[in-house]
Structure 1
Amino acid sequence: MLAGSPKFSFAFESEPYRTFDVTPGMIAVRPFGVEGKANWSSTTDGVVIAISAESMLELAGQEFDRPEVNLRPVSYTADNTALQFAKMIKAELNRPDHSNELYLDSLITVLGVHVLRNYSNAGKPEKVGKGGLSAAAATRIRDYLHEHFSRKLTTSELAAICGLSPGHFTQAFSKTFGCPPYRYVLERRLDFAEKLLSETTMPVAEVAFLSGFSSQSHLTNMMKTHRHKTPSQLR
């Protein structure tokens, strides 16, 4: 929840409704197959994240090496960490120049790890070292991103290439390359777009598509923000 809501009612399954005042930062966790129901009488503001049961099990296996994990139902409790993720997710979704899919996937993945660590039987979290990727892993992921930067990528996919859990991968990648994966991919897309704009007469819309941007306006906005120039200024 991103804002307060007085006299909010919530219940799981056949439980009686519990009525209380919601405050910013409260989180509810509804495991797969568990029904949740809510009523509210005033305007409310929140973020709802739905992660499939299969994805949560895969994430639990990667993070905790557990073949099975059970989330416990949580009926609204204060969670400042979840609040910060919710704010970042909403801000990215509301970007006027299109959201960054890999960045969103990273936020949702790390939020999923947070939920598993705090609201399941997954046990103690993985101990993450302060170091970066090994030289071999850094080479593998660099080569992979330089070949596949223009298509949709996920954090889990990139982590698997390095043989790491998604949570560990994001931290280790940033330590090695000096920026998170989504920013590294964005820079490669911009590099490629600049090359096409400078060396060809290809239409800008086609350059945007081949470089991995969702539209000509998306490319233009990202180039203005991060390279301080427009496609037309490169020609």
Structure 2
Amino acid sequence: MGTLFVGGALTLTLGALAYPSMLGLSTVSSAQDRVIAQTQWGPLTEQDRDFVVKVRAAGLWEYPVGQMGLNKGTSKAVLTASEHLVDGHAGLDDACRKIAPMLNVTLPNVASPQQVGFVNQLNSDPKGTQFDSDFANILRVTHGSIFNTIAKIRSTTKNSMVRLLADKANVTVLDHMTVMEKTGLVNFDQALFTQTTPPKLPSDQLTPPAPQAGEPMVVLTPPANSTETPIAIPSNPSAG
């Protein structure tokens, strides 16, 4: 029964997820649509800035989890999903590192405490069916949680650079949801319940820490066989 959870650890882990878990987007002010900067690519809102930061943070935990899956995964489908995580988040990371300085957005070098907890959970799993099941279910929940949020950002932002990032994130998240589902290990009842009735977590658990002054930026290196296409920055600021 591939859709059943193995052991009790995963139930506890999924119970700790908060919407939207992949990016950890939390309300940083009472008005997420408040404009915080005027740029040549359009106004930048708090919501836009959070999106760029949290896309970066997503890669900081999912990329190493993908590498972990390549070592600990025991099925061909889990290994394939792991390859997609590494490749997809290297591509998104490249996009974030291009766009962030253009918008004067500071990127984190470490994922949020909640996301680090996901990595620790999977790292503690023994290689075998428990890891495969936890891997597929945690990542299906987190990607499913953020899917609608990406669509909202894409449909409401007035900033063309944020639209470019949302376009790429949308494609990547859909791909990652799909490869997790193809493992045959996803418990959809539990995943959908967690997405629609999430518990509350303190904001400090959802927020990646700011980098230290002078700290070198972490770069997520694409695999040698990467299929990702780098984003194209338009020469005309009003384009996109």
- Could you say whether these structures have the same fold, taking a TM-score greater than 0.5 normalized by the shorter chain as the test? no
More strand by share: 1
Q: Report the TM-score, using the length of structure 2 for normalisation.
A: 0.25
